[in-house]
């Protein structure tokens, strides 16, 4: 019923562990879509979860081939999937209400101390 061995031993940490895993999953799938490793059509939570599971198997096998730990050591039970789905619903609700926006790209400090995009920074 818990996302990780750590959460099994510390149940009060299960939400934090689950939320961190959700963020890892979304980042892995979005990055993989960007590089063409995953079909860019993962509109639903379950589409993303299935893509993450497929990626996890492939990347874990590559890692094992070179003696590195698994990227995706988790096996998602139905109760863990429901927890991840609940987090996804909360995130989607917050985004659709405009309460959370995508962070802007980091800026560099220009010579006059203002925030500037990297391409507009002048080096003396």
Tens digits of per-residue pLDDT, 55-108? Answer: 999 999 999 999 999 988 778 999 999 999 999 999 999 888 877 666 666 666
Distance of alpha carbon 74 from alpha carbon 99, whole angstroms = 30
Neighbour-count burial for 41-63, b at 16+ CB within 10 Å, e otherwise: ebeebeebbebbeebbeebbeee
Owner of token pair 């599971």: 53
Helix (H, G, I), strand (E, B), or coil: what is residue 82?
helix
For 82, phi and psi rounded to 5 degrees? -65, -40
């Amino acid at each position: 019923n818990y996302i990780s061995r750590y959460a099994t031993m510390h149940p009060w940490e299960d939400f934090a562990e689950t939320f961190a895993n959700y963020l890892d999953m979304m980042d892995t799938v979005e990055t993989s879509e960007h590089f063409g490793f995953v079909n860019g059509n993962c509109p639903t939570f379950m589409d993303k979860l299935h893509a993450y599971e497929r990626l996890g198997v492939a990347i874990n096998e590559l890692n094992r081939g070179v003696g590195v730990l698994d990227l995706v050591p988790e096996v998602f039970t139905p109760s863990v999937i429901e927890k991840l789905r609940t987090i996804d619903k909360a995130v989607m609700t917050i985004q659709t209400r405009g309460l959370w926006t995508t962070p802007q790209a980091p800026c560099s400090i220009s010579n006059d101390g203002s925030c500037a995009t990297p391409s507009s920074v002048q080096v003396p």
